Amino acid sequence: MPLCYCGSEREFDACCGPILAGERPAPTAEALMRARYSAYQTGDIAFLGESLHPDFRHDWDEPATRRWAEQAQWHGLEILATDKGGENDTEGVVEFVASYTEKGQLKRHHELSLFRKERGTWYYVDGKMPKPQTVRREAPKVGRNDPCPCGSGKKYKRCCG
């Protein structure tokens, strides 16, 4: 039995397979996220449309989704964090990174996905890119005319700058 595409280390038939086949609903937002990733891997575009919240299906581009799923070579899914989205919740957020190769380039899709549960069914609502973290320097910034921190004795702009 093959392992699931979602990276859970479980067999496909015990993980995302039954969710994709409609045999059982995703119990959590994370389980739906994993099933959606597996749908990209297996080309199950219909599941991607069905798992999209009904209020947000109006602008879903099925042909573009199909092209992306078929043209990309999917490498793996990494769940970075979840906020709520459990079996007793009605909303949840899943932060993930999906790695894939497209047109010979290795890419990473990093997203914060919002999920909503209605009448016992989890749906994907929307996704957004996480904001980059602010970097704070521990040492003061080196100016162009300051001595180079490498110790050469030259000005920073003439050395490592």
Pair 78, 96: CB distance under 8 Å: yes
- Per the prediction, the chain carries an average pLDDT of 93
Q: What is the pLDDT of residues 76-86, one digit of tens each?
A: 999 999 999 99
**What is the mean pLDDT of the segment spanning 124-145?**
83
pLDDT score of 48 more than 90: yes
**What is the mean pLDDT of the segment spanning 57-64?**
93
Dihedral sign, Cα of residue 23, residue 25, residue 30, residue 33: positive
**What is the mean pLDDT of the segment spanning 53-62?**
93
pLDDT score of 156 more than 80: yes
pLDDT for position 95: 97
pLDDT for position 133: 76
- Selecting from 3.10.450.50, 1.10.730.10, 1.20.140.10, 3.40.50.10470, what CATH number does the domain 12-133 have? 3.10.450.50
Neighbouring-strand partners of residue 95: 81, 112
pLDDT for position 31: 98
CA angle 81, 86, 91 (to 5 degrees): 85
Q: How far apart are CA 115 and CA 93, in angstroms?
A: 6
pLDDT score of 135 more than 80: no
Domain spans of the chain, in order of start: 12-133
Q: What is the pLDDT of residues 6-42, one digit of tens each?
A: 999 999 999 999 999 999 999 999 999 999 999 999 9
Q: What is the pTM of this model?
A: 0.81
